[in-house]
């Protein structure tokens, strides 16, 4: 097995930086949605659930009431988690395409050019990914019934 060259270490470090850039972008773009789900919807859930507790009700009625109260929050969490999973899958597929291009370059004995192409491919994929985030966040906000403050 060949030792890792300085160039490959540098590229690996740059790829880690790109991954951190993606993570920061996702956190930034999704922060309003996360706040809505983790604060606004959960607060509404607890208020609703509090109203379920009435000594005149049977335990089953209370349980059903609390479960109904939890649905908006649980559904919103599922929607957000599914969207994030889809985003991660798309980015992962893009990275696999970049990796395949590198492997093809290695077969052609053009390793340094392949590394440059890999870096360029990853950079373009990350930029495309980040550019889609506002659209996805807008769609999620619409699905969750969120309105932007005026």
Rounded to 5 degrees, what angle do the CA atoms 74, 26, 93 make?
95
Q: Are 2 and 107 in contact (CB under 8 A)?
A: no
pLDDT in tens, 3-29: 557 767 777 888 889 889 999 999 999
Candidates 147, 140, 23, 136; CA nearest to 77 is: 140
Q: Is the pLDDT of residue 46 over 80?
A: yes
Share of the chain above pLDDT 90, in %: 68
Q: Which helix (H) or strand (E) holds 10?
A: helix 6-35
Higher pLDDT, 103 or 90: 90
Q: Is the pLDDT of residue 150 over 60?
A: no
Return d(Cα 82, Cα 86) in angstroms, integer. 6
Buried b (16+ CB within 10 A) or exposed e, 115-125: bebbbebbeeb
Predicted pLDDT of residue 4: 59
Q: Where are the domains of the chain?
A: 29-143
Q: Which residues contact 68 (CB under 8 A, 6 or more apart)?
A: 48
Q: Are 37 and 80 in contact (CB under 8 A)?
A: yes
Predicted pLDDT of residue 1: 46
Per this entry, what is the length of the chain?
A: 150
pTM of the model: 0.79
Q: Are 123 and 18 in contact (CB under 8 A)?
A: yes
Predicted pLDDT of residue 106: 74
For the residues 43-49, what does the mean pLDDT come to? 96
The overall average pLDDT reported for the chain is: 89
pLDDT in tens, 60-85: 999 999 999 999 999 999 999 999 99
Q: Is the pLDDT of residue 148 over 70?
A: no
Return d(Cα 86, Cα 83) in angstroms, integer. 5
Other Cβ atoms within 10 Å of 64 Cβ, number: 13
């Amino acid at each position: 097995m060949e030792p890792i060259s300085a160039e490959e270490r540098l590229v690996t470090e740059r790829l880690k930086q790109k991954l951190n850039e993606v993570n920061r972008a996702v956190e930034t773009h999704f922060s309003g949605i996360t706040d809505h789900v983790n604060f606004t919807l959960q607060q509404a859930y607890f208020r609703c659930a509090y109203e379920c507790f009435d000594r005149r009700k049977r335990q089953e009625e209370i349980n059903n009431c609390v479960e109904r109260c939890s649905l908006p929050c649980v559904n919103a969490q599922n929607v957000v988690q599914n969207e994030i999973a889809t985003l991660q899958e798309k980015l992962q597929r893009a990275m696999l395409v970049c990796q395949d291009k590198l492997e093809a370059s290695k077969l052609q004995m053009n390793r340094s050019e392949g590394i440059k192409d890999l870096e360029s491919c990853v950079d373009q994929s990350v930029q495309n990914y980040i550019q889609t985030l506002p659209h996805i966040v807008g769609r999620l906000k619409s699905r969750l019934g969120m309105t932007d403050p005026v």
